[in-house]
Structure 1
Amino acid sequence: MNTTISRFRLRSVAAVVASALAATAAWAVEPFTVRDIRVEGLQRVEPGTIFASMPLRVGDIYNDDRGSAAIRALFDLGLFKDVRIDVNGNVLVVIVEERPTIADVDFVGTKEFEKANLQKALREVGLADGRPYDKALADRAEQELKRQYVSRSLYNAQVVTTVTPIERNRVNLTFTVTEGEPARIREVHIAGNKDFSESTLLSLFDQDSGGWLSWYTKSNQYSRAKLNADLETLRSYYLSRGYLEFRIDSTQVAISPDRQDLSVTVNISEGEKFVVSGVKLDGNYLGREEEFKTLVTIKPGEPYNAEQVAQTTKAFSDYFGSFGYAFARVQATPEIDRTTNRVALTLKAEPERRVYVRRVAVGGNNRTRDEVIRREFRQYEASWYDGDKIKLSRDRVDRLGYFTEVTVDTQEVPGVPDQVDLTVNVIEKPTGSLQLGAGFSSADKVSLTFGISQENVFGSGNYLGVQVNTSKYNRTLSLVTTDPYFTKEGISRTFSLYTATTQPYYGNIDGNYRLTTEGGNIRFGVPFSERDTVFFGAGVERYRFDPGTSFAGYVPFSYQQYFGCIAPNGQLGVLYCGNPSVSGVPLSIGWARDNRDSALVPTTGVLQSANLEVGVGSDMKYYKAGYKYQQYFPLNKQYTFAINGDFGYAGAFSGQQFPIFKNYYAGGLGSVRGFEQNSLGPRDIPLYGQTVGAALGGIKKAIFNAELSTPFPGAGNDRTLRLYGFMDAGNVFGDRTPWSTNAQWDSINKIRASVGLGISWISPLGPLRIAYAFPVVYEKGDVAQQIPEDRIQRLQFQIGTTF
C-alpha cells in the first residue's frame, strides 16, 4: 500500500445519490482492516447513533462497497445534510454535516383553523419543533396545509414557507397563508330519480346551495366528508322504502374556473320496489328461537326496509351479547324474486364463542378520576361478557354530563380466545360555570350578581354551587354541594344553605314589606333501580316578615292574616304584626326517572318526577305534592313532538293555615308563556281603596304544554338551532276567601292559554329559548268588579329552560 494518505470522498444530498457517487468514486482504496473509527462534525447527534447505524466495526475489512453502504446508512437516518468518509492509514474518519433543527413553527394569516390544530396536522407528516429540517418535508407540510384548507372549501388558499436560520444550526419555519374566500355550492342536482321528486331528496342533505342562514350553518361550503354522509342518508332513504337494489352510480363535482363555485350532480338508479314475503331464522340460536323471533321488527307484506333489517340484526347481536357471545355474527340474506318483486329474508346466526371480560380500562379522562367512571360500570372484570350491562354502563357514564362523547371498545386478548378487554374512551367537556353581572336601575341602583358552579369538582364527581345577588329588592345567598356516591352503594347526599330577602317595588312608595327566608336542608338519593331514584330529605327554615312603614293597603291581606298583622292607628295605618316570625321542619320524599336520549336536545324518551313535602313541628304544618311528566316523540329526522304536564296540590293540616310563601306560581317560560313570570293565579284584593295587584300564587297547579320543533328555515338539519310552535294552558288556583266576590273567584280560577312560536339555540352560553306568544284565554280585567287584568308579556327569553 502506498504510504501516502489515500482519500476517498463522497458527497450527496440524498442517500440514493450518495450511493451512486460511492460506486464511481475517483479514488479507490485497497481493502484493509479498520483499526479505529473517528467521527467529526457532530453538534446534537450522539456518537453512539453513528456507530450503531454504520455497518462497519473496528476489526472489519474496509472496501469501497462497505464504504458506500455506510454512507447510505447514515443518510437514511435523515439527520445529515452531508456525509463523507476519509481514510487515514487504517483509521476511518466519518465527517458529517448535520441538518438544521427546527426551533419553531409559526403561522401567519390563519383564521379558519386554530394554530394548535395546524401544528398537530404537520406533526403527523413529521414536521415539528425539535426535528431535523428537510426541504422535502417542508414541501409535504405545505401540501398538507393546502389539503386542510381544501377540506373547508378554501380552494384558493396559498401557502408560502419562509425558513429563517438562527444560531446553533437551527431554523424557524413560518407558513404564511392567504386563505381567500371559500368555494360555495352553486347547485346540487340528483339525476335518475323517478318515484321521488328532486326537492324531496335534496331536503335530506345537510349540504345545499345555501340560504339566508348559510353564514351560520355553512351548509353551502363543500366538504367531501359531508357529501358522503348525505349520500348515505339518500341510500338509507331508498332502502327503507323497498328499493332493495338502489345504487348511486356516480358523483360529479365540478368547480368553476375561478375556483369559487361548485356544482354537485348525483346520478342514481332507483331499481324496483320490493315487498317482504317472509322471514325465517337459520343457524345456532342457543335453543332460544322463540325469544329471538320476538326481536324481529321486519314485517312481511310491507316494503323492504333496510332500517328494520339493521335493527333486527343489531337486536340479535345484542341479545347474543347478553349471554356472553361478544362476537356473534348475524347476517340477513335476501332471496329476490324479480318476477313478483318480492324478497324473502333469512337471518343466519353464528354465536361463535362465549367470552368473559378480563380487564376494563379508562381513557381520555385528563381531569375526571378513573373511580368516577368505573363506579358507573355494571360490567365487572372477570365476569362473563354481558352486552346489556355494557350498554347500560355506557349510558350511565354518558348521563354524568361530564363528557361530550362516550364509547366502549372491545378488544380480543391475543392468544386467549375466550377473553376480551374493554376500553371506555371519553372526551371531557367543561363542567364548571362562572357568572358575573352588574346592573343599574332606578329601583335597585347598583346590583351585583355572582354565581359559580362545578359539576365535577377536582374530578371527583361532586357538585358545588354558590349563588349571590346583591339587589336591593332581591338579595340571595345560597350554597349547595352534592356527593353522588356518599356510600359505595351509590346513595347521594346533598347539603344546601340559603338566605334570601324579597321586597316588592311599588314605584315611589317607600317602606314596603320584606320577607326574609333562612334555612338549610339535607337530602339523600337512593337508587332503587338503574333508572329510578328515590329522594329523602329534611330541613330547617325560618321566615321573618317585616311589614315596613307603608300603609296596610299596600300589604297583601293574606300576609296580614297569616302573620297576625293589625293597623292600630286606623284602617290605613302602619301595620303591627303579632307573629312576625315562623319556623318549620320540612320533610320531603321524591322519585325521578329519566330515559331521554339527551338532556340538551332530546328527541325521544320520558322524564318523570314526583315529590311530597310535609311540614312537621313548630309553626308550619302543611303538605305539598307535585308530579311532572315529559315525553318526546320523534316524528322523523327533522320533526319532534313533545308534551309536558306539571301538577301540584298543597294544603294545611287541620286547624292550620297554609304558609302563603309556599304557594305554587305560574306564568312565563317554563309554564304558560305569554304571561309575565309568576303573575298568574290569585292576586291581592283591594283593601280600603288601595291595591297593588301582587301575585300571591296558589295551592293548586295544573300546567300543560305541547311543542312541535322543526328545522329552522335556512338552517338545514342543524339540531342546535330549531324553530318550534307551542300551545300552553294552565293556572294556579287558591281557596275561596271571605272577601272575594263571585266574579273575582271565577276570574282567579279560570284556565289561561296561549299559542306561539319560538326559537331554541344551543348557544356558547347554554341552551337559549326565545318565545313569542299570543294569549288566547286571558283576563281583560273589570274595574267595577275589582278584577285586575292579566299581565301580558308576549316576548320572553331565557337560558337553560326546557319548556
Structure 2
Amino acid sequence: MIGSVKGSLFFRRVALLAIVWLASHPLSASEFTIADIRVEGLQRIAPGTLFNYLPVSVGDRVTDSATAAIIRALYGTGFFDDIRVERDGNVLVIWVNERPAIAQIDIVGNRDIKTDDLKKGLSDIGLAEGRVFNRPMLDRIEMELKRQYFARGKYGVRIESTVSPLERNRVAIRIEIVEGVTARIRQINLIGAEAFTERELLGQFSLGASRWHSFYTKNDQYSKEKLAGDLEALRSFYLDRGYVEFEVKSTQVSISPDKSEIYITVVLDEGAQFRIGDIRLAGDLTLPSEQIFPLIQLRRGEVFSRAHTAESADRISRLLADEGYAFANVNTIPEIDSAEQTVSVTFFVDPGRRVYVRRINMQGNTKTRDEVLRREMRQLETAWFSADLVRQSRERLQRLGYFDDVSIETPAVPGSADQIDVNVAVVEKPSGNLMAGIGYSQSQGVLFNASVTQNNFLGTGKRVSFAFNTSSSNQLYQLAYTNPYYTVDGISRGFELSYRAIDFDELIGADYATDVGTAGVNFGLPITDTSRAGLALRYQYTKFKAGPASALAQDFVAQNGDEFHDFILTMSYTRDSRDQAIFPTRGTLQSLSGELALPGSDLQYYRINYRDRRFVPLTRRFVLAWRGDVGYGAGYGDTDELPFFENFYAGGPRTVRGWKESTLGPRETSNDLDPVGGNLRLTGGLELFAPPPIGGPFERTLRVGAFFDFGNVWATEASDLIAPTGFDIGDLRYSTGVSLSWMSPVGALSASLAYPLNDKSGDETQVFQFSFGQAF
C-alpha cells in the first residue's frame, strides 16, 4: 500500500510538471511562416486596399498575437462586418464579409432646410453615396439632424431612417423628416425686477414674444446662445445704472406639451444702486494729471456706470498711444463699499515704454510708387509713435481710390523694447479704366458714355482722363489732367478742356440751347488733413440759341447778344471728414464755392453755393444722413441780373424727389409756362438708410432708405416774363418716400418712390424716379 501510494504521488507530480511546462511552452503546431496570403469574400474593395492595412506580409511568422493584430487592423478600417483568419498549409487565408455600400440617400419631408444642405452636412461626417454603410453612424446622424432642427426652434421634429438592401451588397437609405411647427416664445417673465419696468428690461433682449415683425427679425425663435447674450446685455444694463451687485439667480426654459410654445422665466436680484465715491489715478502717469483728469468723465456722487468708466479708461489709453506709448494699459479698479453704497474707482496707468517708429514698410504696391504712398503718411519714421497719426495715414490712403484695401500693422522690433515698425499693406485695384456704356435717365433719356481714365498714371498718382457723354438733351466732351502733388507741400495743379451742348427744350421743355467750350487751370491748397482750398481760372465761350417760342430767350439776346467770351474765377473751400466716399457712415462734407465772371467779360455775374452733408451712425447698420444746399447768384456791372441759363434748378432725384427734374420754381409767362429756374436755391433733406438684410456682396454695394426732402428755387428780381418772383419761404415743397441705391458692376443705379406732401396747381410731380448708368 505504501509503495502504491508513493507511485501514485510520483505520477501525479510528473503530470503536474508536464502541465506547467506545456503552459509555459505552448505547442507550436499553429505557428508557421507565411508563404502566401489569400483573401476570400472581397466584392467591391480591391485586394491592394486590404493589404495596405495588414500588419503582416509574406515571410513573417504567424502567432496567436499576430492573428489578433490582423483582426483588429481590418476591423479598424470599418469596411467589414465579419473577419476570420485561417491556415491552409503555409498559406494565410483571410475570410471577410464586406459591409454594404450606400447606393442612394433619399431625404423627404424637409422644408426648413434644403436637401442639398442636408446632404452636404451628412457627407461632411461620413454618410454619402458610394461610402461604406455604418449603422451606428446613421444613429448619430439622426441625433445631429434633430439638433439642427432644435436650433431652428422645431422641437417637435421626428426623424425616421429606413435602410433597404439592394443587389451587389448595397443599401438605399431613406430619411423621413416630419418637421412639425416652429416653437415660438410665448412669454418672458422677469421676477425680482423693481427698479425698472418690465418693458424697459425686455427692451434689452433680442428674444421676445411673437409680434407682427417676427417673421423678419426671428426674435420669437428661442436660442440658448441668444438667451445667454440677452442676459449679459441685461447685466450690462444694470451695471451701467449703478447696480453693481446685480445677479441672475436662475433661468428656466419650459416648452408646452405640444412643443409649439416656449416660456422663459428669469429670476433677478437687483441689489442696491451705488454711486461714485472717490476717483483716483495711480501707477506711472508719465503725463501731468491735469492732462489726464479731464478725460475721466465721471463725477463724485453720480450713479456709477461701468460703460462710462470703460470709456474714460479708453480715452486715457488713446491719449497715451498718441504720445508714443503704443503698449499702454489702463485698468479700472473698483472698490465697493456696501455699507455706504458707493464705488471708488482707481485708474491704474501702466504706460510701458515710449516707443518710436524705426521703419515704415510698404507692401502690395506693385504699380504705385512708394513715394505716392509715403507722401500720404502722417506717421513719420524715427518719430514717436502716434496711434492718431497712423489712423489718419490709413484714411488718407483709402481716400486715394487706388486701393481695394489698406491695412496697417505696428509690430514690435525684435530685441528692442522701444521700437516698432509700421507695415502698410495695400491691395491695388486697376487704376486705368476704359469704359463704354449705356444708361437711362428719366430727365435725359438714353445716355451713351465712354471714358479713358488713368487715376494713377504710371504709378505717379497723377490723373489723366478723356470722356464723352451723349444724350438727347446733353452732350459732353472733356479732357482733363491733374497732378495732386504739383509741389511737395501738396498743392495740386490741373488743366481742363471741355465742350458741352445742352438742349433745354429736351431737358425741361424751354425753347433755347447753349453750346459752351471751356479751357482752364486749377490749383488746390491743403489747409488741414481734412480741408482744402481751391482756385481756378477758366476761359468760357458760350453760344446761346434762342427759340422763337421763348420770349425770355428772345429778350435776353436782344439785350446781350448770343455769343459770349467770359473769364471765370472760382474759389472754393472743402472740408471732408467722411470715413469713405461711397456710402459713408460717419463724418461731414462741407463746401463753400464762389464763381465770378471777371470784369471785362461779356457777361458779368457771380454765383455762391454752400453744400453740407452729415452722416451720423445710429446703430451698426442704420445711418442718418442730412444734406443742405444754398445757392445765390446775381449780375453786376453791365449785366443786370444772373443770366437765366446759369440759373439754379430744383426738383428731381438730386434735389427734391417727387417732382420732375428741374421743374420747380418760376416759369415763363409768355408760352407754355416752361420752367426757367431761379437765382436763389434752397434744398435739403433727411434720410435714414441701411444695407439690406440679405448679406453677401450687396452688403457693400446696396443701400435702401427712407427720406424727407424739401426745397425750391426763386427769382428774386422782378420781371414781366416770369412768375412768380420774389422770395417766399412758404413756397418750399416737401416730399417723403423710400429710396434704393446700387453700385452695380456696370454703373450706378438709383431709384425712389416719393410722395409729394404739398404739391400745388401746375407742379409736375413724378412719384417713381430712377437713373441707370454713369454720367460725366
Counterparts of 1:652 and 1:739, CA distance in 2? 18
Counterparts of 1:73 and 1:421, CA distance in 2? 55
| Residue identity in the other structure for 1:609 | S
- Residue 344 of structure 1 aligns to a residue whose secondary structure is strand
- Residue 628 of structure 1 aligns to a residue whose secondary structure is strand
2:252 counterpart residue number: 252
Give the 5 Å matches for 1:342-353: 342-351=342-351
Give the 5 Å matches for 1:617-766: 623-631=606-614, 644-651=627-634, 654-655=637-638, 658-667=642-651, 671=655, 677-684=661-668, 686-687=669-670, 691-703=671-683, 705=685, 728=710, 731-734=712-715, 736-737=717-718, 739=720, 744-746=724-726, 748=727, 750=729, 752-753=731-732, 758=737
2:20 counterpart residue number: none
Give the 5 Å matches for 1:426-465: none
Q: Which moved more, 1:653-662 or 1:33-42?
A: 33-42
1:791 to 2:773 alignment: no
Write the deviation string for residues 533-585 of structure 1: whole angstroms up to 9, x where unpaired: 6677788987665545xxx4x3250x3344559xxxxxxxxxxx973x66878
1:715 counterpart residue number: none
Identical columns (%) = 33
Write the deviation string for residues 496-529 of structure 1: whole angstroms up to 9, x where unpaired: 988665454799x9x9555567889999988765
Cα displacement (A) at 1:308:
0.8
Counterparts of 2:453 and 2:78, CA distance in 1? 49
| Residue identity in the other structure for 1:696 | V
Contact 1:480/1:497 (8 A) holds in 2 = yes
1:606 to 2:588 alignment: yes
CA, structure 1 residues 651+64, in 2 after alignment: closer, same or farther (shift >3 Å)?
farther
Contact 2:714/2:725 (8 A) holds in 1 = no
2:197 counterpart residue number: 197
1:555 counterpart residue number: 550
1:302 counterpart residue number: 302
CA, structure 1 residues 606+514, in 2 after alignment: closer, same or farther (shift >3 Å)?
closer
CA, structure 1 residues 723+161, in 2 after alignment: closer, same or farther (shift >3 Å)?
same
- Residue 307 of structure 2 aligns to a residue whose secondary structure is helix
Cα displacement (A) at 1:338:
1.9
Counterparts of 2:130 and 2:525, CA distance in 1? 55
Q: Which moved more, 1:79-88 or 1:242-251?
A: 79-88
CA, structure 1 residues 76+707, in 2 after alignment: closer, same or farther (shift >3 Å)?
same
- Residue 694 of structure 1 aligns to a residue whose secondary structure is coil
Q: Which moved more, 1:169-178 or 1:639-648?
A: 169-178
Write the deviation string for residues 131-172 of structure 1: whole angstroms up to 9, x where unpaired: 776555555555444444433334455667788999999999
Cα displacement (A) at 1:281:
1.9
Unaligned runs of 5+ in 1: 1-26, 566-576, 711-719, 781-788
Cα displacement (A) at 1:762:
8.1
Counterparts of 1:485 and 1:88, CA distance in 2? 91
Counterparts of 2:37 and 2:392, CA distance in 1? 65
CA RMSD of aligned residues (A): 6.7
Counterparts of 2:495 and 2:103, CA distance in 1? 53
CA, structure 1 residues 63+544, in 2 after alignment: closer, same or farther (shift >3 Å)?
farther
Give the TM-score normalised by the residue count of structure 2. 0.67
Cα displacement (A) at 1:282:
2.1
Cα displacement (A) at 1:245:
2.0
Write the deviation string for residues 473-497 of structure 1: whole angstroms up to 9, x where unpaired: 6467899999999999998999998
1:19 counterpart residue number: none
Counterparts of 1:463 and 1:100, CA distance in 2? 70
Cα displacement (A) at 1:196:
1.4
| Residue identity in the other structure for 2:677 | G
Cα displacement (A) at 1:343:
0.9
| Residue identity in the other structure for 1:626 | N
CA, structure 1 residues 394+755, in 2 after alignment: closer, same or farther (shift >3 Å)?
same
2:341 counterpart residue number: 341
- Residue 236 of structure 1 aligns to a residue whose secondary structure is helix
- Residue 205 of structure 1 aligns to a residue whose secondary structure is coil
Write the deviation string for residues 69-100 of structure 1: whole angstroms up to 9, x where unpaired: 45545555667777766667777677888888
| Residue identity in the other structure for 2:713 | V
Cα displacement (A) at 1:275:
1.0
Counterparts of 1:745 and 1:98, CA distance in 2? 97
Contact 1:189/1:265 (8 A) holds in 2 = yes
1:784 counterpart residue number: none
Counterparts of 2:86 and 2:765, CA distance in 1? 92
CA, structure 1 residues 667+767, in 2 after alignment: closer, same or farther (shift >3 Å)?
closer
| Residue identity in the other structure for 2:667 | R
CA, structure 1 residues 636+307, in 2 after alignment: closer, same or farther (shift >3 Å)?
farther
- Residue 725 of structure 2 aligns to a residue whose secondary structure is helix
2:313 counterpart residue number: 313
Contact 2:719/2:725 (8 A) holds in 1 = no
Q: Which moved more, 1:195-204 or 1:673-682?
A: 673-682
Higher CA-based Rg: 2
- Residue 185 of structure 1 aligns to a residue whose secondary structure is strand
Cα displacement (A) at 1:337:
1.7
Cα displacement (A) at 1:303:
0.8
- Residue 316 of structure 1 aligns to a residue whose secondary structure is helix
CA, structure 1 residues 613+245, in 2 after alignment: closer, same or farther (shift >3 Å)?
farther
Contact 1:681/1:731 (8 A) holds in 2 = yes
Cα displacement (A) at 1:270:
2.0
| Residue identity in the other structure for 1:345 | V
Counterparts of 1:39 and 1:423, CA distance in 2? 63
CA, structure 1 residues 667+578, in 2 after alignment: closer, same or farther (shift >3 Å)?
closer
Q: Which moved more, 1:474-483 or 1:642-651?
A: 474-483
Contact 2:704/2:741 (8 A) holds in 1 = no
Task: Figure out how many residues of one structure are paired with residues of the other and give that number.
Answer: 720
CA, structure 1 residues 602+114, in 2 after alignment: closer, same or farther (shift >3 Å)?
farther
Unaligned runs of 5+ in 2: 1-26, 691-701
Cα displacement (A) at 1:292:
3.5
CA, structure 1 residues 663+744, in 2 after alignment: closer, same or farther (shift >3 Å)?
closer
CA, structure 1 residues 536+638, in 2 after alignment: closer, same or farther (shift >3 Å)?
same
